Amino acid sequence: MLDLNDPRWKKYKGGYGVIYDASVPLRRLFEEGASQPIWDELWQELHHQGDIGAASYAAVPHLLEFARRSKKLDWNVFGLVATIEMSRDEGPKLPKELAADYLAAIGATAEVLVTHPDRKWGAELMQVAATCLALTRGQRKFAEIYSEFSLQSGKRWLKAEFD
């Protein structure tokens, strides 16, 4: 995992295609804890209208580590990780220097979810957890379905299918 003090953070591009030093909000996330301003910044800068960058890839292992250390799981972690991973096919190539840590984090996402002591999940966390589980097992189409299929749309589908 790229150290948050590594100078390479200052060279990576984010979702807007410009340099974005994601180490700054990530450091704040670990030091201050989760807050809406931090999540808003990370969501906006690491993923923009389907676009991601090397900063997005570098952030994923840190996001997962934050989840591991947290007492309560936050849907933002897994939503952002899933969004970045689902954008990878269309995004820039995963840099070699980040590949091993990024792919290990993606592979460990399901383990973090199922072994974490937090068992009170809201609908948002459940939806992104299902998305992440599908991604860790190479089921991208299921991941897309879980990501887009809200509880409300699922209820409508069930009603139409079985009424």
- Per residue in 37-85, pLDDT tens? 999 999 999 999 889 999 999 999 999 999 999 999 999 999 999 999 9
> Does some domain include residue 146?
no
Cα 87 off chain centre by: 11
pLDDT at 52: 97
pLDDT at 159: 87
> Does some domain include residue 155?
no
DSSP readout, 79-125? Answer: HHHHHHHHHTTTSPPPPHHHHHHHHHHHHHHHHHHHHSS-----HHH
> Residue 13: CB partners within 8 Å, gap ≥ 6?
19, 20, 53, 54, 55, 92
Q: Which two tokens stand for residue 152?
A: 């409300």
Q: Cα–Cα distance between 81 and 106 in angstroms, integer?
A: 8
Q: Cα–Cα distance between 106 and 101 in angstroms, integer?
A: 9
User: Which domain covers residue 70, as residue numbers?
Assistant: 7-120
Cβ burial of 68 (10 Å; 0-12, 13-18, 19+) is: middle
> Does some domain include residue 44?
yes
> Does some domain include residue 99?
yes
Q: How many domains does the chain have?
A: 1
Cβ burial of 69 (10 Å; 0-12, 13-18, 19+) is: exposed
> Does some domain include residue 48?
yes
Fill in the amino acid letter for 36.
Q
Name the pLDDT band for 153 (thresholds 50, 70, 90): confident
Q: What average pLDDT score do residues 126-154 get?
A: 90
Buried/exposed 38-64: b ≥16 CB within 10 Å, e otherwise: bbebbeebbbbeebbbbbbbbbbbbbb
pLDDT at 157: 83
> Does some domain include residue 141?
no
Place of tokens 């030091």: 31
pTM: 0.92
> Does some domain include residue 42?
yes
pLDDT at 75: 97
> Does some domain include residue 43?
yes
Q: Give per-residue pLDDT as tens, 77-127.
A: 999 999 999 999 998 999 999 999 999 999 999 999 999 999 899 989 999
Q: Which two tokens stand for residue 67?
A: 């989840």
